[in-house]
Structure 1
Amino acid sequence: MQVSVDTTSQIERRIKVQVPAAEIDEAVAARLKDAAKNVRLDGFRQGKVPMSVIRQRYGRGVRDEVVGEVMRERYVKAITDENLNPAGYPEIEASVNEAGKDLEFTATLEVYPEVELASIEGTEVERPVVEVTDADIDEMIETLRKQNAAWEEVERAAEDGDQVNIDFQGFLGDEPFEGGSAEGHDLVIGSGSFIPGFEEQLVGAKAGEDKELKVTFPEDYQAEQLAGQEATFKVKVNAIKAQALPEIDAAFVEKFGVEDGDLAKFRDEITKNMNREAGQAVENRVKQQVLEALKKANDIPVPQALIQQETDGLKRQAAQQFGLGEDFDVSQLPNELFAEQAKSRVQIGLLLAEVIKVNELDASDDEIKAKVEELAQQYQEPEQVVEYYLSNDQMKNQVKSAILEEKAVDVLLGQASVKDVEMSYQDALAAAQQQGGEAEEDADEAEEQA
């Protein structure tokens, strides 16, 4: 077998392979001879069909089968011998495939890029310094009260934040439009769940009152026939309910796992949870800045095959997020919506894998166990969570990947200039969430790619 490899780009290789004709022809002849033993044709006994007939009837198909197998086998041998690291599947095409002639084929493939990491030295990273204050805790308790509030009917005009029960029907001109009506619908004024301008016009309405609301559908409204259209809604207000917040007493506290109803313990638990969230927010904020700097300093080529794999994964996530169902064909979603994010994720995954490799980072069993125990504290029965994680190899590998990511970020952070910035609890959470979209889960692939 003769092999030559051409470098057509930083991440593309073209392998040309030549296999002696005798090797292919002998394999085809042997397979035809073996097949002839079981062939049944009218006018011939089983096993007595002349080889000329066998060759004429089955020769092409058998040769294609043999050639396909040989090309796959020789491709694997070639990439092994040439120390190539394919990213995805190759395109294999035979250029000479005739009896009596050497088989010649070409395999075009993408390979993982060779990465020489550039330092992120000089990068300024802002690290939030967050203190959870009594006011933050009071606000969180108030949020919990609202989440557990009841709705009580009131005899007054509707106010912002009230829940109104309404019947409504929408019209374009004098004609009602499909999907524009409902009966007994509960709507919280100010929730933003209806068309802009609809909810605001219900402020001041009273139970039993009929109202006529005029609104304009947004230009980008999902139903194209309604986008930008002016509409009228005839609304009947059935009832008005105000939010009744629960008292902060033992019964309320017990709902959150504080069995003895102790208010001080409840407040301590909330403080611990908020401090943990603040710590995670700070960590995420720092991580995103570091990863962005790493990507900017190392503009490596990214194999299209890996981008497509990541794009397909993002499509599946989107389908789940929007409840499109398990049977939904994600290929209907355009690649363009996800390609940029997919490329960024793959690029960061490749770079982090190199950081882990170059610095010989690893995670011991003790480190994995400690991380699992830390994660388990977020659950009501942490012992069961620890047991589940440590008895499941897949979950352990996920935790190991998270630890390696943290270590890689720490290595990179040591190259940067860190500036502490005071930030409120709410601002820290908002900043981390804002930055979290692009590079979230990028490093989950690092362990596989390392």
Structure 2
Amino acid sequence: MATAVETLGKLERRITISFPLTDVRTEVEKRLKVQARTAKAPGFRPGKVPLKMVAAQYGYQIESEVLNDKVGRAFNDAANENNLRVAGFPDIVPKEEAAEGQLAFDATFEVYPEVAIGDLTAVEIETVQADVSEAEIDKTIDILRKQRVHFHTKGEAGEHGDGGEPIAANGDRVTVDFVGSIDGVEFPGGKAEGYAFVLGEGRMLPEFEAATLGLKVGESKTFPLSFPEDYHGKDVAGKTASFTITLQKLEWAHLPEVDAEFAKSLGVADGDLAKMREDIKVNLQREVAGRVKARNKEAVMDALIKVAELEVPKTLIAQDSERLAEMTRQDMAQRGMNVKDVPFPAELFAEKAERRVRLGLILSQLVGDNKLQATPEQVKAQIEDFAQSYEDPREVLKYYYSDRRRLGEIEALVLEENVVTYVLGLSKVTTKAVAFDELMGSNAQA
């Protein structure tokens, strides 16, 4: 039995549910008898344990299960009878005052809000576009060359030359021994042997790199180094240390020539440079298209948040905050970071969770009102598009279609794209050209 629904706030509701205590006792006794058929105890054969002993061992657990089942069923029945769309899970607590022979519980919960979406034809959205020019292809080739760099001892003649005068210069890979001290005392992390880094890449503090420049193998230099106030090593942050470095090895960087062998190393079997450039262009265009789509989707989502009016259930925000915190923990653990004792307060993710939940409710309303659900054909086309960049596209199809959860992720992606297309088709859209570097340096996420 359930009382009438009480309205506690814009979304918060409460129902009192109750049922006879005898119903609980009857169900507990029934389950105890079933448990007794297989119960084991010292001195008794299986199934011959006295019911009192079974009750002593399993009674509390079974009673809890019965109560949970009955309360859950009663709440669901009450919610259905009152046509309530419950958001999240109810907070159910025993009610102190109950009629004789009855058990009563207060169930406090939130309901899904009404979502009012404004006039989309009046919404102004700025989208972006970007092109891939020959300059971008050249830059990409330079990056690919640097990824394939190899080093040779500087000053020694070889197949590719000697690298010039054997003194440390930007672009060279140096191997050094160093020791640092503060007020004459060495500090943890301030000493190393055979430490290698490339000058000019910014891996070391500027004073360290400046002191290394111009050294020859076997030479040493002592110099002061001031650690920044925000340095990651708190023991030395803001302090000045004295370092002595000794150059043990000096190598110059040789970049591969852009020739047939280079093209083959990128997967162009016949070494054709024109084909290599075309492959790079296609890959860049695919990447640009993805970035443009992400930026434009974000613009649409921002517009929807502004034009839609709704209350966001706190329950759903809390649940999503917990989910984001756990996802972050798992991601960091997979990256090899020790997060066992690191706190991940859900409150840190509340703002992001609120946006996600708000958008989810808005999109659900739009999809339902305008029949924007993902079709099987759209889902298949999206997976096939993903598969283009893989060696065996059939394996990609199998990967998604063999797991309902993975397929659901693609369906959600297509659904979002349907919403974006629908909104852009109604709103006032302007398009801005953005530079390739600006686009590739952004990480737009809706």
The alignment's TM-score, normalised by the length of structure 1, stands at 0.83
- Asked whether 1:380 is paired with 2:391, we answer yes
8 A Cα contact 1:246 1:252, kept in partner: yes
Q: Retained in 2: the 8 A contact 1:131–1:425?
A: yes
For residues 39 and 220 of structure 1, do their structure 2 counterparts lie closer, same or farther at Cα, with a shift above 3 Å needed?
A: same
Q: Is the contact between residue 95 and residue 106 of structure 1 (CA under 8 Å) also seen in structure 2?
A: yes
Counterpart position of 2:158? none
Contact 1:118–1:298 (Cα < 8 Å) also in 2: yes
The Cα shift of 1:402 comes to 1.4
Match for residue 436 of structure 2?
A: 425
Aligned to 1:192: 202
CA distance in 2, matches of 1:68, 1:374: 47
Deviation at 1:408, TM superposition (A): 0.5
2:255 to 225, 245, 268: 245
The CA deviation string for residues 158-181 of structure 1, in whole angstroms up to 9 with x for no partner, is 222322111122322211111222
What percentage of residue pairs aligned between the two structures are identical? 34
Cross-structure match for 2:135: 135
SS for the counterpart of 1:247 is coil
Checking the alignment, whether the CA contact within 8 Å between 1:11 and 1:112 is kept in structure 2 is yes
Q: Which amino acid aligns with 1:102?
A: Q
Per the alignment, do residues 191 and 316 of structure 1 end up closer, same or farther by CA in structure 2, a change over 3 Å counting?
A: farther
2:180 is aligned to 170
Asked if the contact 1:316/1:330 (under 8 Å) is kept, the reply is: no
Please state how far the C-alpha of 1:265 moved relative to its aligned partner: 0.8
Please report the RMSD computed on the Cα atoms of aligned residues, expressed in angstroms: 3.5
Q: Does 1:337 align with 2:377?
A: no
SS in 1 for 2:194: strand
Q: Does 1:205 align with 2:215?
A: yes
* Secondary structure of the structure 1 residue equivalent to 2:381: helix
What SS does structure 2 have at the residue aligned with 1:166?
A: strand
Equivalent residues in 2 for 1:211-250, closer than 5 Å: 211-250=221-260
Gap change, CA 1:374 and 1:96, over 3 Å in 2 = same
Partner residue in 2 for 1:444: none
Q: Point out the more displaced range, 242-251 or 361-370.
A: 361-370
SS in 2 for 1:3: coil
Structure 1, unaligned runs of 5 or more: 41-45, 440-450
The CA deviation at 1:331 is 7.0
Q: How does 1:304-315 map to 2 (within 5 A)?
A: 304-315=314-325
Aligned counterparts of 1:385 and 1:35: Cα–Cα separation in 2: 47
For 1:400, the equivalent position in structure 2 comes to 411
Contact 2:173 2:252 (C-alpha < 8 Å) held by counterparts: yes
TM-superposed deviation, 1:266? 0.6
Deviations 1:245-287 (A, max 9, x none): 1011111111222111111111111111111112112111111
1:91-106 alignment runs, 5 A limit: 91-96=91-96, 100-106=100-106
Q: Does the 8 A contact of 1:24 with 1:103 survive in 2?
A: no
Task: Give the alignment's TM-score, normalised by structure 2.
Answer: 0.84
Distance 1:87 1:331 in 2: 30
Report matched runs for 1:12-31 at 5 Å. 12-24=12-24, 27=27
CA contact under 8 A between 1:211 and 1:235: conserved in structure 2? Answer: yes
The CA deviation at 1:148 is: 0.9
Residue equivalent to 1:80: 80
Cα distance between partner residues in 2 of 1:54 and 1:396: 46
Give, as a single letter, the amino acid of the residue that structure 2 aligns with 1:271: K
CA contact (8 A) 2:18 2:104 kept: yes
Q: Equivalent residue for 1:117?
A: 117
Corresponding residue pairs, total: 430
